[in-house]
A and B are shown apart, each in its own frame.
Chain A
Amino acid sequence: DIQMTQSPSSLSASVGDRVTITCRASQSIGSYLNWYQQKPGKAPKLLIYVASSLQSGVPSRFSGRGSGTDFTLTISSLQPEDFATYSCQQSYSTPYTFGPGTKVEIK
């Protein structure tokens, strides 16, 4: 199985801050990396697919980069509704695996 790790596991930030979350795969996955946002008690929401493509309806302050084993999700200017947990997922091969999540909290 491809293992996904994320850093940091949590962070505190203020509205307007630029936030970057890192995801690393245990082997090369090309660009088959997706990012999800999840709020408490809610289903995950797809933000970014194939590493850098913005899902329809997702604000442009979200962006993704990377290929191979190292990927980043950046929120250019954190908004109140962005406080949530962010998880990466590889869709390169089954079993599809998710990172443990990064919780973004209010500072």
Chain B
Amino acid sequence: QLQLQESGPGLVKPSETLSLTCTVSGGSISSSTYFWGWIRQPPGKGLEWIGTIYYSGSTDYNPSLKSRVTISVDTSKNQFSLKLSSVTAADTAVYYCARQVGGNESMDVWGQGTTVIVSS
């Protein structure tokens, strides 16, 4: 059974870079059938797609965050990562990683989520 687990600092200072890793277990991250995405949810608000990395290594980012986001994959560790630079309090959120199904891009497996607070 595929599982995803986010990890990374829970507290980041303003203007610094938020870095999170999603570890995939129970399946290969290298499958061409699936893509890998990051989604966030600010406190009390709705879900926001951050970006997706495809099996080819290409990426797609939300234009609202594109200048600050980098998503990468490490197939040797079965992990993919998120970096968000120049964070502000508005980046405080629960960050989720998820598997997306190629062909319809639904998000069928999610990590449990990790809370990141931006504060000095």
B residues lining the A interface (CB < 8 Å)? 46-49, 52, 60, 62-64, 96, 100-101, 104-108, 110-113
Contacts and interface: CB of A to CB of B under 8 A. Distances in A.
Closest 4 CB pairs of A and B: A91-B105, A49-B106, A43-B110, A96-B49
A92 B113 CA distance: 25
A49 B62 contact: no
Contacts, number: 59
B46 A34 contact: no
A22 B75 CA distance: 40
A46 B107 contact: yes
Contacts of A89: 47, 106-107
Contact of A98 (B46, B111, B112): B46
Q: What bracket does the count of chain A residues touching chain B fall in?
A: 20 to 34
Contacts of B113: 42-43
B108 A95 contact: no
A49 B102 CA distance: 12
Given A36-B47, A42-B112, A43-B112, 16 more contacts: A1-B63, A32-B104, A34-B104, A43-B111, A45-B110, A49-B101, A49-B108, A50-B104, A55-B108, A89-B47, A89-B107, A91-B106, A94-B52, A95-B64, A97-B49, A98-B47
Nearest to B45: A100
B110 A44 contact: yes
A4 to B, nearest CB: 9
B104 A98 contact: no
A87 interface: yes
Interface string A1-12: 100000000000
A34 B107 contact: yes
Nearest to A50: B104
